[in-house]
Amino acid sequence: MLKSMDKYLAAAALSAKNYLGYASEVIFRSGFLVVILFVFVNLWTVTYSRSGAEIIAGFDLRQMLWYLVFTESIVISRPRVHLKVEEDIRTGAVSYALARPYNYLLFQLSVSFGERMVRFISTLTVGYAVMTVMVRPYFPDLSILPFLTVTVALAMMADLIGMITIGFLAFWVEDVSPFFLVYSRLQMLLGGMIVPITLFPPFLRKLSEWLPFRFMVYAPAKLFVNCDISQALSLMAGQIFICVLLFLIGMSIYRMGVKRLDVNGG
């Protein structure tokens, strides 16, 4: 099992190394976060001062701002793996991957995960520096860091598997962008990227609890600001379940697509 995972770990590491070649994109992407954070800091400062409340939806102002640094870093770091998969299917490159001894979904997951980790770390570093200057530094409890690392990794994996699965729809449709648009907007709204889901009205909150998006964005960011280990374990269990479920859905769609490939002559 470990030996068979070795190739995927190697692919993730190489992808991270390869992505360092895109230094200018890393800088630009991180620079964009500065603008977003500047807007959020001003928006939430005004919101808290006008409402007069110290805590909104379980977050004080400082927690809210650090929560947003984290959610933005997770979402901005997302590579366009659905388009890569779409291109592979459209150009027929996916059929050549069949003749290699690896699982195509896991391989794409590894490659996009490696790239995403570099983007996430660079974006979070910039976000951390900006927030330290604009608000004040934040030091999460060190004991939470291992849990946080695993939670972030699982959140990204769940999201990437979802994106790869959307890419697989290219076996049937010419353009997967509309599907991704719906997926990303749902994630943005119901995953807690812009506002924490605890701020939602009850029915919307209920809905977001039933959807997988909160495991991808809200949950790791919440853990980052409240450092609750007991929450971390149940969160990780939920994330593992979502990853496995999405993987099974993705593989079923992929297998159906590959059958179609055979029928359509590759």
Partner 1 sequence: MCIDVNHVSKQYTLWKIKGWTRRERQVIEAVKDVSFRVEPGRALALIGPNGAGKSTLIKLLCGILSPTRGSIRVLGMDPFKDRSKLAYHISSVFGQRSQLWYHLPPIDTFLLLGRIYDIDRVELKKRMKELVELFDLSSFLYQPVRKLSLGQRMRCEIAAALIHNPKILFLDEPTIGLDVVARSMVIDILKDLNQRKNVTIILTSHDTGDIERLCEDVIVLNEGRIVLESNIREMRKNFFHTKIIEIEFAGQHADLDLPPGVSVIERSGPVVKLEVNLKVQDANEVVSRIVAQNSVRDITIQDPPLESIIQHIYLSGDPAGREAEQNAQIDG
> Is residue 95 close enough to count as binding partner 1 by CB under 8 A?
yes
> Is residue 21 close enough to count as binding partner 1 by CB under 8 A?
yes
Residues 6+ apart with CB under 8 A from 222: 67, 192, 196, 231
> Is residue 22 close enough to count as binding partner 1 by CB under 8 A?
yes
> Is residue 174 close enough to count as binding partner 1 by CB under 8 A?
no
Compute the distance between CA of residue 171 and CA of residue 135 in angstroms, rounded to an integer: 48
Which of 96, 129, 175, 206 lies at the binding interface for partner 1 (CB under 8 A)? Answer: 96
Judged by CB under 8 A, the chain residues 223 through 262 that form the site for partner 1 are 261-262
Assess contact for 215 and 162: CB atoms under 8 A.
no
> Is residue 206 close enough to count as binding partner 1 by CB under 8 A?
no
Nearer to partner 1, 17 or 185 (CB): 17
| Size of residue set near partner 1 by CB under 8 A | 25
Which of 29, 90, 102, 238 lies at the binding interface for partner 1 (CB under 8 A)? Answer: 102
Compute the distance between CA of residue 42 and CA of residue 20 in angstroms, rounded to an integer: 33
3-state secondary structure of 59: strand
Where along the sequence are the contacts to partner 1 (CB under 8 A)? 3, 6-7, 10-11, 14, 17-18, 20-22, 93, 95-96, 98-102, 261-266
